[in-house]
Structure 1
Amino acid sequence: MVFRIIAGVLLMVASAAHAALKPVYGCSYWDKKTDNVEQLKKCMEVKEGKLFFLPELFTKSRDVEGTLWVGVYEYARDAGLQDGDYYVHAPDSYLSVIHFDNGPDWYVEGLVRSRQNGKIGFWDYAFRNRIAPQFDYAGQFKEGKALVCNGCKTQRDGEHVALVGGEWFYIDKTGKRVSEVKSAPF
């Protein structure tokens, strides 16, 4: 009987200790010494449903104008996090950006695309939202305009994906519609 009580207490203590541990997740990052993409096993935690990037990332990663790139892929799926790319300023300051051409979307004309709640919008270098996420598709800016679509859908053809249907138009850097597109370009 005493053995069962001791075993039960030990099991409860071990369970409580395990629950108190915060899981730490890995990521990919751009290493400042090797100038290559590397993996960091202890990169971030999830605190109250938000990411928190650990100090080691900031000592190893190369930044561009005060912003780090972090790739969160299979490392954090068990925490319910989506695969994706993030720009990071500080342990609790980050922006999820669109994965584009084998890496994170880049800033074009001072703005970067991010998908929030299924819609695409644009943010600046300080992670301030400049054009609310409202588009099903949005291209990068070129000469002050970006091609966007509402209502378009992806259509898979083998390994390729096309966008079909929807209403296509151009916006300016304030998000205002500036011209129509007569037929979908994709």
Structure 2
Amino acid sequence: MSIYLLTLPRPWPWAVLERGCRVLFFTSRDEGRPQALRPPVEALGRYVALQTGSAWDVEGAAFMERRLGLYVPAEDGLPARSIFAVARLTEVTTICNDSRAFGGEPWWRGTIGWWFDEVLAVEPLECPEATPFSPLAEDYRPELRERFALARDGIWRPEQVRRAAPAEPRPEPQPQSGSGQFGLGF
């Protein structure tokens, strides 16, 4: 069974991880006009690897600032072209058949919404960028499975800053008589 790779332009990875965004909208350019994308039918209900793209979505950042009143950071701390989370693609809806499009969902901003659930941040895994939705290359699947298991089992926790155990305090050197201000013997 394959897992799909979905590349998100910045600042959307930040919105997913830090602000709880669970509906995303994807477009492609066809004859200069944006066209809403639909995921493959077989992807529905399955896990998708979410990747930080190298591009910046200026319109998306403006939407977050104007409509949602968010301060969008220029840097999210995620390496470009790295998988940052795994999520289940639960449903795909259109503006015509989803009442959340009319005020119920603050993140709604397009015509075809891709809804995600069970978002789990994983240790970033660098891999080639997908355009925009493609199966994850077989070479990266074992490592992603391992990182997913570590995050799922609570072994890797991105929300906790891990600190090294404090070192034993060093004893303060005792001043020596007649050694001078800098201990040079003057």
TM-score where L is the length of structure 1: 0.30
Which is greater in Rg? 2
Is the strand fraction higher in 1 or 2? Answer: 1
TM-score where L is the length of structure 2: 0.30
